Structure 1
């Protein structure tokens, strides 16, 4: 809330959707709102992140909407730079994203995100490279967000929530151009227990997002389709491995093996190297 309230772009409406929380979220928001009249609290039954964001989009009065997850931070210039960027462009440019840092629970920077960026019609590339990276990095025209149906609640209903951001971004990118500000203006928080650490649904959700996106866009060239599937399977494999789900790990690595045998060879070499390093430590 403080990082949203301290934006250099002052003409903000700050909508907090209290999605059926059982802690003191409502009390904290009401206290902060005493000093900032732009803050508005909406309390709903727990329905998941997609439904909560859709509530915020519908209630918003402005031309643009931006999303800030409860555990992330915005740099104080983020919204101003994004609004200025879109105001210079035609309506066919529907959204703008920024880069981010990974931070821990103490607001300390752990590492930077990949510096890869793309702008314009990025749909085919975004399927593989997933440039936006997190839900707190995007600002989008509100009318476009409504036009594409907002965020899809069916993932959470199926028990594979966590990749609704990617689904939303791909629907945007399939129809509109997207701009980028290549500056790290978001602190994306990762710690045990937050949504991004739920490895099993994250892996399954990513695979389903790409499956749906490819099915909805059959005109894509085969090389783009193969690249998207291959990259997402690799991501899912690491998620399944961290979740210690042997069946899904093996099933995914088998799929990868068919198209990229060298990936499995690299895994084997990395494991051998780790074992060697472990043995050397024991010897020394």
Structure 2
């Protein structure tokens, strides 16, 4: 079954090559289709991506004028291939750990009715761009966080949830995940570490208070939806809120 991975990119020349290589090393475990949406980068991000396409035609590059990460994610959804059966996401400064897909895809093989796997993520402050692993002296924490990349969606679930809410300029991923779990999909939560979330000074989610306000707005909208529609499912107990008490980790 083809697995499409959507990667929005904006001025990530330093990290996008590592992010893509972390996916490419798993081609033996998954029939990968990597959809890169460049959101109007002004650095050499596009050149880095094109250099990898030469050796890996499973990477497809699309360019648009700068419109923000939410619209870039939606642009990626519009590029899904007819044969795509599974959908995942990876941000252009993060790393997909080795064995991540092999571990979680077995869940779908074992249960054809499964719609979602939602695994764990490791927050880390230093990754070796040669080995694509956390450095020996890095600081890290493994949690079940609120992030798209630890999830693999069956396509029918993506079609049921619809597009990302373009009213959000940040926390669009939080909103999407909350809407996903509210819909009551059949899911499992493996203990696989499915993401190395790279914390660095350029992370959007470490700047000012805007991300926290947007995160809280997504949570508030979820609460309003569930009050208005009692058929929606609760989201309690899914995310490790206690470990994520410092919102800068989100």
- Fold shared per TM-score above 0.5: yes
TM-score range, shorter chain: 0.7 to 0.9
How far has the Cα of 1:216 moved from its partner? 0.8
Provide the secondary structure at the position in 2 that maps to 1:135.
coil
Partner of residue 29, structure 2 = 9
Q: Which has the higher strand share?
A: 2
Partner of residue 37, structure 1 = 57
Q: Which has the higher contact order (CA 8 A, sep 6+)?
A: 2
Partner of residue 80, structure 2 = 60
Distance 1:199 1:45 in 2: 25
Distance 2:107 2:208 in 1: 35
Provide the secondary structure at the position in 2 that maps to 1:181.
coil
* Rg larger for: 1
Q: For the structure 1 residues 20 and 217, does the alpha-carbon distance in structure 2 shift closer, same or farther, using more than 3 Å as the test?
A: same
How far has the Cα of 1:82 moved from its partner? 2.0
Distance 1:200 1:66 in 2: 28
Distance 2:68 2:110 in 1: 34
Distance 1:103 1:225 in 2: 26
Q: Which has the higher helix share?
A: 1
**Structure 1 segments (4+ residues) deviating >6 Å:** 224-228
Output aligned runs, 1:125-164, within 5 Å.
131-156=144-169, 161=170, 163-164=171-172
The answer to whether the 8 A contact 1:200-1:239 is kept is no
Select 2:173's aligned residue among 145, 165, 171: 165
Structure 1 vs Structure 2 CA RMSD: 2.7
The question of 1:84 aligning with 2:113 is answered no
How far has the Cα of 1:53 moved from its partner? 1.5
Partner of residue 213, structure 1 = 222
Aligned residues: 210
TM-score, normalising length from structure 2? 0.75
Per-residue CA distance 1:137-168 (angstroms, 9 max, x = gap): 11111232122122212111xxxx1x222111
Distance 1:192 1:182 in 2: 29
Output aligned runs, 1:118-129, within 5 Å.
none
The answer to whether the 8 A contact 1:19-1:43 is kept is yes
TM-score, normalising length from structure 1? 0.67
